[in-house]
Amino acid sequence: MSLLEIERINSYYGDSHVLFDVDMHVDEHEVVALLGRNGAGKSTTLKSVVGAVKPHNGAIRFDGKDIRGLPPYEIAQRGIQLVPEERRIFGSLNVEENLQLASLSAEHAWPLERIYEYFPRLKERRRSRGTDLSGGEQQMLAIARALVRDARLILLDEPFEGLAPIIVQDLLADTRQLAEEGRTIIIVEQNVAAALSIAQRCYILNNGHVVYEGTPDELHANPQIMHEYLGV
pLDDT 10s digits, 143-193? 999 999 999 999 999 999 888 898 889 889 888 888 888 889 999 999 999
pLDDT 10s digits, 46-98? 999 999 999 999 999 999 999 998 999 999 999 999 999 888 899 999 999 99
Point out which residues pair with 209 in neighbouring strands. Answer: 206
pLDDT above 70 coverage of the chain, percent:
99
pLDDT 10s digits, 9-53? 999 999 999 999 999 999 999 999 999 999 999 999 999 999 999
Total domain count, the chain: 1
CA dist 121 and 87 (Å) reads: 17
Give the three-state DSSP class for 107: coil
Q: Are 189 and 139 in contact (CB under 8 A)?
A: no
- Which ranges of 182-222 does DSSP label H, i.e. alpha helix? 192-198, 216-220
Is residue 202 situated within a structural domain? yes
* pLDDT at residue 194, as a whole number: 92
* pLDDT at residue 232, as a whole number: 66
pTM: 0.92
Is residue 18 situated within a structural domain? no
pLDDT 10s digits, 189-227? 999 999 999 999 999 999 999 999 999 999 999 999 999
Is residue 102 situated within a structural domain? yes
CA dist 11 and 16 (Å) reads: 9
Is residue 216 situated within a structural domain? yes
Is residue 10 situated within a structural domain? no
Q: Are 4 and 46 in contact (CB under 8 A)?
A: no
Question: In terms of residue numbers, what domain contains 181?
Answer: 27-53+71-230
* pLDDT tier, 106 (very low <50, low <70, confident <90, very high otherwise): confident
Mean pLDDT of the chain: 93
* pLDDT at residue 82, as a whole number: 95
Is residue 162 situated within a structural domain? yes
Is residue 6 situated within a structural domain? no
CATH of the domain at 224: 3.40.50.300
Is residue 60 situated within a structural domain? no
